[in-house]
Amino acid sequence: MKPAPFGYVRAGSLDEALAALAEGGEDAKPIAGGQSLVPALNLRLVRPTLLVDLNHAGLDGIAANGTLTVGATTRQAALVGDERVHPLVREALPFVGHFVTRNRGTVGGSIAHADGAAELPLCLVALGGKVVVDGPSGRRVIAADEFFITHFTTALGAGELVVETVWPLAATGESSAFEELALRAGDFAQSMVAVVLRRDADGKVVDASVAVGAVSDHPIRLREVETLLVGTSGAEAAADAGSLAATLVDPPGSIHASARYSRALTGALTTRAIERAA
Amino acid sequence: MTEVELTVNGRVVRETVEPRLLLTDFLRHRLGLTGTHVGCEHGVCGACTVLLDGVSVRGCCLLAIQADGSRVETVESLAESGPLTELQESFRRHHALQCGFCTPGILMAATDLLSRGRPTRAEIADMLSGHLCRCTGYTPIVDAIEACVDRDGSA
Amino acid sequence: MGVATERETWVGRSVLRVEDEALLRGKGRFMDDLEPVPHAWHAAIVRSQVAHARVAVDASAALDHPGVRGVLTGDDVASLSRPFPAGIESPVPHYAAAVGTARYVGEPLAVVVAKDRYLAEDAAELVAVDYEPLEPVVEPTAGEVIHERSFHYGDVDDALARADVVIRQTFRVPRFTCLPVECYGVVCDWDEPAGRLTAWANFQGPFTLHGVAAAALGLRADRFRLLTPPDSGGSFGIKAAILPYVVLVGLAARALGVPVRWTEDRLEHLAASATATGRVTELEAGFTSDGELVALRYDALEDVGAYVRAPEPATLYRMHGSLAGAYRVRNVAARNRIVLTNTIPSGLNRGFGGPQLYFGLERVMAIAARRLGIDPVELARRNLVPADEMPYRTPSGGLYDSGDYAACLDRAVELAGHDELRKRVEAAREAGRIAGIGLACVVEPSISNMGYITLAQTAVERAAGLPKSGNAEGASVAVDPLGGVTVRLGTTPQGQGHRTVVAQVVADELGCDPDDVTVLSELDTATTPWTVASGNYSSRFSGVGAGAAQAAARRVRVKMDAVRAHLGELELPLRKVAGTIHWHPEGLPDGMEPGLSAVAFYAVPNLDPPDAEDRVVSSGAHGFIVDICAVEIDRATGAVTVTDYASVHDAGTLLNPLLADGQVRGGFAHGVGAALFERHAYDDDGNLMTASLVDYVTPTAPDLPALVVDHLESPSPFTALGAKGLGEGATMSAPVAIANAVADALGVDDLELPLTAPRVWELLGDGDEG
């Protein structure tokens, strides 16, 4: 399977990239890691007229100052083993593709691609992170839970690029857990759940984040489950939280799993994640 | 058409390429380096894995033009014209290949993994989850790579 | 005679492979690596997007595209070729491309030939296809039955009527495919003035199909030269079905007057190469109350996809001699029906009829064990063919050469720690977990009788035609003037190590070192000794392939020994004998032909055509496997974990234990894939849902359970080296062993592969868990 023809420009800076995208119009596409885009090109599912290569535009790098700022073209592998990265993300990373694809796939690319079954968008939503975007109308910051709209669709406007993602650092009194079930290691999830709990000195949950992915068209926070957990120890409410979670998602069936299963699985993973976020 | 210049297996290469030419096709048909194999062209099977600037990547998910200015190493670079490397010998001893089609991609990924430290058996199996082998049942491959770990950390 | 008898043999040793060096260096020579013909053009195939439709193809826009040489359409194919012959009559003629009607998604409609593959794909998109949809059939039980034959041995009706317990169950085995990592590759060069086609393809045999392709092309067999590359990236049966593509590409080369190359991509492979048949079997089994199996009745509905493509209906008949599996039941009946569906045509796939048969038979044994209150191991033991009846003639005519099935079972029980497993499962259940144990006993046939396919005809029809029988292979051994030995084989390996093993066999025969023996496994129908049975399928190599190499080497040795005797130097080394023969032919014994090479053809005995009672020795050798495994099931997610898996194989004499172990492990991976992951699936409209590697899910390293293997060796009295095939057995045993464990854990009788987490979860609550 070979791609249809396209033009190519290698951007040496963010400004060059934005200019090339503006000039290329709506059929120009940025390419970062290419682990999703090039297969789509090979399958001729997408046919851009111009590819704008971001890999040399200076958009990589990780900086920590109160939050963790991750440049868009930072490789997923760069997060592995970096102690500054939030434990939730470090737990999710082994599920992101495979060793070799993480070497090339980027954090920003995963965020911009917005596959509803991708782990990094889910973690960003669960942690309440932010996406920094730049484009024809300048730079803006978008909260994660406003960035992902539906399958492969984000709040990015025409000619805009993800420049950075901003991630909270681990906080005291906070614990987290990530659960996923895929048919095989590295496959797209059948369901996945990210839980972050903040507890007071008595061990009671004061703040909860419960987010699910793969069973919806974009990662969603289950606010009612979060409310249920507040004031409990977490584990004591885990079973109820899971049952509630199962009713809050409406997954389609697929050739692999029925909707009924995907709902029940989400509930089970929610319970497990809450139990483990001890 | 664009001119690219890159280093492939230690040699500087200058070629003119269409943007859409995949790195795998460039290596195999333009340069005659047929050791890198094509199994799926959608990034799943791992047979096309090569090193780009020292790091293992899927060749089918890269355009040749993107490798301009970079260093590419393929399976042919492991032993060049000399004796088999320790990793390759280990594969032979453990019968970690049968048809050999998936082998080059696995050798390159394993070379990368071993260069980063001392992976556990579970880490080796996890790396291998990105590679399809339909002949060996994987256990001999894990054994072969693991046998190269109990040295001073280099492969 | 000679040096070999005075030291340990090479055969039986774990000699490291001669194939490895080149493969490890990336110097393998696979089909897409070769440029056998200069200036070949490149093909891209336009394929049907609809499962069943009348199609009209307009290639005019494609023909105008730059870089395009031409387009071959279905109409061209119809005018330049004849339909492929198959083992049975079919209402639907099968050409290399759809002619007027497409019958499965992915069926070739046209071939675009251009300067490179990129351009060919660009132009292929410009071929306009007009579809007039027709009703698709996807569900086998809704399809038109195009073949039916029934078989009856003993008295099944009577035995069932007198049985204390009769189990009746329907079993479904889905379509799955072995998915080699290398896809098909073809290069064709048509010489119009000479009326010859030369084709290179990673074909695996059987070479019966060479004749099928020649017939379609309207060529005499000697005008269709077929060559295989030195290396092939796996096949497991799938690359038998490449021949229709050789015909298609050959016709493109002919019509357009240029050599043409086609390299299949993965999406094409999943849609339109081949898969195993799907099968729905209604099985009735009668037992006495103390567990004797007294009758088996199979009613099998075989889904061969859109066309009966040779060698089908072989999948349905391959196991005919083993219908009763490992058991000594004498009353066996089978009704075989074949149905067409609008799906990918079926073909060889590792196991070839074994997985389909044993899923029914071994499930029924497990169900019976539960219903009779007898432990499955004990139930098997009561029914296994006894060692003292070997060679054993089965009711359907099969001939089991050797084996101590009870000893194998005992060894498996020991290896698995069966008693410990049972205690662990009990403890798990008491703790509220879901756990179970599964057993499978499988007779693994190898070396197919080319005549078994004629069971698709009645005895009267057979008597009117040319009989088919046997399984023969050819090999040549030549010794050059400096004592180097070169062997040519017709066994077209794809990683099984034939070159290494044959070097061992020939070294033993000639009294030299395997390093002195060069083995060529590329097959050229013009120069390699071959016959219709040549190729790599039904695990025939260790019997017939090795046998042919030994026979050819023996002829050379006999000649050398005669020369040694003539010279009065019985210990003269090989190098000197060879030098003498080549340089001094006048010094040879009177009447001895000069030169030092031999061609031999070797056949395994007993493989007669089916008799008038429809009994046939369907396979030349039979191994035996006992698998015992344990599973735990996650109540919340349905995920199945195989906690233990032990397998005992008896494949007769092991020619190279290292390679034998590799075959078992490789087969196990395919079996686990079928058990827990794989299904080639269509929706109700015939759209392929498992169209890429994202959705056709095969296991990777972390997905496979640990496997403990032991080998017993009951040499075959029928093969030259006492070896039996062992490449396929695990694909026959693992799916049902795991299914039995899951059924035991869940307390259900009815379950279907693959046992993925979502599918197992649906079964929770259906049964009485442990």
Instruction: Give how far the C-alpha of residue C581 lies from the chain's centroid of Cα atoms, to the nearest Å.
Output: 42
Q: What is the mean predicted confidence (pLDDT) over A164-187? A: 94
Q: Kindly indicate the confidence band of residue B152, based on its pLDDT and cuts at 50, 70 and 90.
A: low
């991630």: which residue's tokens? A167
Q: How far apart are the first and last CA of chain A?
A: 48
Task: Please check the confidence at residue B35 and state whether its pLDDT lies above 80.
Answer: yes
Rounded Cα gap, residues C222 and B152, in angstroms? 60
Does the pLDDT of residue C2 top 50, yes or no? no
CA C690/CA C325 separation, integer angstroms = 32
Dump pLDDT digits (tens) for A139-169: 999 999 999 999 999 999 999 999 999 999 9
Of the candidates A1, A187, A256, which has its C-beta nearest C758's C-beta? A256
Chain B residues touching C181 at Cβ < 8 A: 37, 39, 45, 47, 99, 101-102, 132-134
The reply to whether B142 touches chain A by the CB within 8 Å rule is no
Domain boundaries, chain B: 2-77, 86-146
Mean pLDDT within A259-268: 96
Query: Is C750 strand, coil or helix?
Result: coil
In the stretch 407-466 of chain C, residues with CB closer than 8 A to chain B read none
| Predicted local confidence at residue C565, as pLDDT | 96
What is the number of residues in chain A? 278
Q: Per-residue DSSP letters for C488-522?
A: EES---SSS-HHHHHHHHHHHHHTS-GGGEEEE--
Q: Which amino acid is at C65?
A: H
For chain A, how big is the Rg over CA atoms in Å? 19
**DSSP state at residue C4:** G
CB atoms closer than 10 angstroms to residue C425 = 24
Peptide bond preceding C311 in cis form (omega within 30 of 0): yes
Mean local confidence (pLDDT), A165-174: 96
Which of A1, A8, A185 has its CB closest to that of B19? Answer: A8
Cα C627 to Cα C633: distance, rounded to the nearest angstrom: 19
In tens, the pLDDT along B48-79 reads 999 999 999 999 999 999 999 999 999 999 99
Of residues B38, B79, B128, nearest to C25 (C-beta): B79
A15 CB contacts (<8 Å, ≥6 apart)?
A: none
Given the structure tokens 């909707």, which residue do they identify? Answer: A259
Q: Distance from C574 to chain A by nearest Cα, in Å?
A: 52
Q: Percent of chain C scored above 70 by pLDDT? A: 98
| Number of inter-chain CB pairs under 8 A, A vs B | 92
What's the CA gap between A118 and A111, in Å, rounded? 9
pLDDT of amino acid A278: 78
**Residue B82: predicted pLDDT:** 94
pLDDT in tens, C446-486: 999 999 999 999 999 999 999 999 999 999 999 999 999 99
- Provide the mean pLDDT of chain C: 96
pLDDT band for position C7 (cuts 50, 70, 90):
low
ipTM above 0.95, yes or no: yes
* Sign of torsion over alpha carbons C179, C180, C183, C184: negative
State chain A's mean pLDDT as an integer.
97
Q: Is the distance from CB of C686 to CB of C456 less than 8 angstroms?
A: no
Phi–psi pair at C415, nearest 5 degrees: -65, -40
Give me the residue from B56, B66, B113 closest to A53, CB to CB: B66
Q: Which residues of C touch A264 (CB under 8 A)?
A: 636, 761
Q: Indicate which of A37, A38, A73 best probes the interface with B, i.e. most B CBs within 10 Å of its own CB.
A: A38
Residue C4 has pLDDT above 80, yes or no: no
User: Minimal Cα–Cα distance from A103 to chain B, Å?
Assistant: 6
Q: Which residues of B touch C707 (CB under 8 A)?
A: 137, 139
B56 chain-A contacts, CB cut-off 8 A:
99-100, 103
CB-CB under 8 Å, A100 with B68: no
| Residue C694 banded pLDDT, cuts 50, 70, 90 | very high
Whose structure tokens read 């909860």?
A208
d(CA C278, CA C217): 30
CATH class of B2-77: alpha beta
- Residue B151's pLDDT is 62
Topology of domain B86-146 in CATH is DNA polymerase; domain 1 (1.10.150)
pLDDT for the residue numbered C6: 41
**First and final CA of chain B: distance in angstroms?**
39
Residues C734, C704: Cα–Cα separation, whole Å = 12
Cβ atoms of C531 and C470 within 8 Å: the answer is no
Nearest residue of C to residue A181 by CA position?
Answer: C637
Cα gap C18→C33, rounded to integer Å: 20
Tell which C residues from 522 to 561 touch B, by Cβ distance under 8 Å.
none
Cβ pairs bridging B and C (under 8 Å): 176
pLDDT in tens, B46-56: 999 999 999 99
Question: 3-state SS of chain B: helix, strand, coil percent to 5?
Answer: 35, 15, 45
How far is C-alpha C293 from the geometric centre of its chain's CA atoms? Answer: 29
Distance CA C269, CA C180 (A): 10
pLDDT mean over C550-575: 96
Closest CA to A265 of A172, A164, A183, A190: A190
A contacts of B68 (beta carbons < 8 Å): 10
Burial of C657 (0-12, 13-18, 19+ CB in 10 A): middle
**Subunit contact A261:C762, Cβ cutoff 8 A:** yes
Select from C692, C700, C757 the Cβ nearest to the Cβ of A185: C700
Q: What is the pLDDT of residue C766?
A: 61
Query: Token pair for residue C655?
Result: 């020619």
Residue B18 touches chain A, beta carbons under 8 Å: yes
A185 pLDDT band (50/70/90 cuts)? confident
What pLDDT does C769 receive? 47
Q: Determine whether the interchain pair A184/C681 forms a contact, defined as Cβ–Cβ distance below 8 Å.
A: no
Cβ pairs A/C, distance under 8 A:
68
% of chain A with per-residue pLDDT over 70: 100
Rounded CA separation C673/C756 (Å): 10
Q: What's the whole-model pTM score?
A: 0.97
> Which of chain C's residues have a Cβ under 8 Å away from the Cβ of B122?
702
A42: nearest CA partner in chain C: C118
- Which whole number is the average pLDDT over C76-88? 95
Statement: residue A188 has pLDDT above 90: no
Name the residue of chain B whose CA is nearest to C182's CA: B39
Task: Identify the sign of the CA torsion C247, C252, C258, C263.
Answer: negative
pLDDT at C503 over 50: yes
What pLDDT does residue C3 have? 36
A117: pLDDT strictly greater than 60: yes
Ordered DSSP codes for A239-259: HHHHHHHHHH--PPP-SS--H
Please state whether beta strands C144-153 and C332-340 pair in parallel, antiparallel, or not at all (unpaired). Answer: antiparallel
Contact status, residue A70 vs residue A163, Cβ threshold 8 Å: no
pLDDT of res. C308: 97
Per-residue model confidence (pLDDT) at position B81: 85
Interchain contact, B43 vs A38, CB within 8 Å: yes
> How many Å from the N-terminal Cα to the C-terminal Cα in chain C?
62
CA A39 to chain B, closest CA, distance in angstroms equals: 4
DSSP string, B52-96: ETTEEEEGGGSBGGGGTT-EEE-THHHHTTSPPPHHHHHHHHTT-
Residue contact C702–B101, C-beta within 8 A: no
Q: What is the CA radius of gyration of chain C?
A: 27
CB A82 within 8 A of CB A102: no
Measure CB to CB from residue A255 to each of C125, C695, C757 and give the nearest one. Answer: C695
d(CA A228, CA A195): 13
Q: CB–CB of C151/C333 below 8 Å?
A: yes
Q: Residue C87 — very low, low, confident or very high, per pLDDT cuts 50/70/90?
A: confident
For residue C343, pLDDT over 60 is answered with: yes
Subunit contact C122:A255, Cβ cutoff 8 A: no
CB neighbour list of residue C544: distance below 8 Å, 6 or more residues apart: C447, C471, C472, C473, C533, C602, C603, C604, C620, C719
Please state, in angstroms and rounded to a whole number, the distance separating the CA atoms of residues A81 and C482. 60
Q: How far is CA C28 from CA C19, C33, C111, C283, in A?
A: 9, 8, 29, 47
Please enumerate in sequence order all residues whose Cβ is within 8 A of that of C423, keeping only pairs 6 or more positions apart, or say none.
none
Which residues on chain A are in Cβ contact (under 8 Å) with C702?
Answer: 184-185
- For residue B22, what is the DSSP state? B
Provide the token pair at A7.
């033009």
- Residue C724: name the closest of C444, C472, C512, C425 by CA: C444
- List CB contacts of C344: < 8 A, sequence separation 6 or more: C104, C106, C175, C271, C272, C273, C274, C275, C305, C306, C680, C688
Instruction: Give chain B positions within 8 Å (CB) of C25.
Output: 35, 75-76, 78-79, 84, 88
Answer whether residue B155 shows pLDDT above 50: no
Which chains border A (3 or more CB–CB pairs < 8 Å)?
B, C
**Which runs of consecutive H residues, i.e. helices, occur in C257-329?**
266-272, 314-317
